[in-house]
């Protein structure tokens, strides 16, 4: 028999498959990547920014797309969770009975899946365009090998994995906010306000290492520096440890608090 988590996931997949936005959003992400890739390629070929390298263009596009996907994290998570309270469908789910904690876990799985798909679409599109338009070659300084093509590609994959992990932490944090809100608009407003606070706090060196937003941006900021042959902001080992550890703390705390809110929440009406 299907578990409560499985039932929630199946129900969400059924609803998403019948919504136009399920197809519009990925297409929009792809089109934004295409436009950004063309702009950055044009600028790099004229030495306005960076270098005319496939790795630089791809990493720069993905770094910029992090902001777009982070915004989608807020919107998607808000609607998948808070809208249930706004339209009252959560009452029917919880009186079947459907375990609240497992309902919330199923929602989280769907949110993380959607966000992962959107980000992977951006990465694949940016990488494919850069490869076919410019190509992926080793970074050379005259006759000196700065970074091999293989090393650059390996770091690109690593940065992709680390960014997805940070986006998951951001999604669970927004889900925690959504679990206590009664309308998607409220969740979006609160999440954006928190995002602004994090942006301001990120300008302070003492607080920057502890923010989710830092680790959404940091991996591909490092990749952009590497693709240009510049000194790296951090050692790769240090980057990996911090990019896994800090989001993990945020994710764990957000899941625990979100589950507690859901278990104790009263549904009126």
**Which of the four pLDDT bands, split at 50, 70 and 90, describes residue 268?**
low
d(CA 88, CA 268): 9
Tell me whether the omega of the peptide bond preceding residue 97 falls within 30 degrees of 0, making it cis. Answer: yes
Where in the chain are the domains?
4-263
pLDDT of residue 146: 86
**Which of the four pLDDT bands, split at 50, 70 and 90, describes residue 89?**
low
In the numeric block, the tokens 């702009």 are attached to 39
d(CA 44, CA 184): 40
| 8 and 106 Cβ atoms separated by less than 8 Å | yes
One DSSP character per residue, 16-66 reads: HTT-THHHHHHHHHHHHHHHHHHHHHHHHHTTSSS-S-HHHHHHHHHHHHH
d(CA 94, CA 50): 54
**Which of the four pLDDT bands, split at 50, 70 and 90, describes residue 200?**
very high
> Averaged over 169-181, what is the pLDDT?
93
pLDDT of residue 91: 57
Provide the token pair at 260: 């507690």
> Averaged over 78-88, what is the pLDDT?
78
> Averaged over 64-68, what is the pLDDT?
93
Per-residue pLDDT of 223-239, as tens digits, reads 999 998 888 888 999 99
Q: Across the chain, what does the average pLDDT equal?
A: 89
Least confident of 69-78, 98-107, 163-172, 251-260: 98-107
């Amino acid at each position: 028999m299907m578990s409560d988590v499985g039932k929630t996931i199946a129900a969400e997949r059924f609803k998403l498959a019948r919504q136009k936005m399920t197809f519009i959003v990925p297409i929009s992400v792809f089109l934004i990547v295409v436009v950004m890739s063309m702009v950055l390629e044009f600028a790099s070929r004229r030495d306005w920014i960076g270098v005319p390298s496939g790795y630089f263009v791809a990493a720069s596009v993905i770094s910029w797309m992090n902001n777009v996907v982070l915004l989608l994290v807020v919107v998607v998570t808000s609607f998948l969770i808070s809208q249930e309270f706004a339209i009252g469908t959560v009452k029917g789910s919880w009186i079947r009975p459907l375990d609240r904690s497992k309902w919330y876990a199923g929602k989280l799985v769907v949110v993380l899946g959607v966000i992962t798909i959107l980000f992977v679409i951006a990465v694949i599109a940016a990488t494919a365009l850069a490869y076919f338009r410019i190509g992926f070659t080793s970074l050379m300084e005259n006759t000196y090998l700065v970074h091999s093509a293989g090393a650059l590609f390996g770091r690109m994959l690593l940065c992709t994995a680390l960014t997805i992990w940070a986006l998951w932490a951001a999604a669970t944090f927004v889900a925690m906010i959504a679990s206590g809100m009664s309308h998607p608009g409220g969740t979006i407003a609160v999440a954006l306000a928190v995002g602004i606070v994090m942006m301001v706090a990120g300008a302070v060196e003492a607080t920057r290492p502890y923010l989710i937003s830092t680790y959404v941006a940091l991996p591909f900021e490092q990749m952009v520096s590497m693709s240009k042959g510049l000194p790296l902001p951090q050692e790769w080992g240090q980057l990996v440890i911090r990019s896994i550890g800090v989001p993990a703390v945020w994710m764990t705390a957000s899941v625990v608090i979100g589950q507690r809110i859901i278990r104790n929440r009263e549904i009126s009406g």
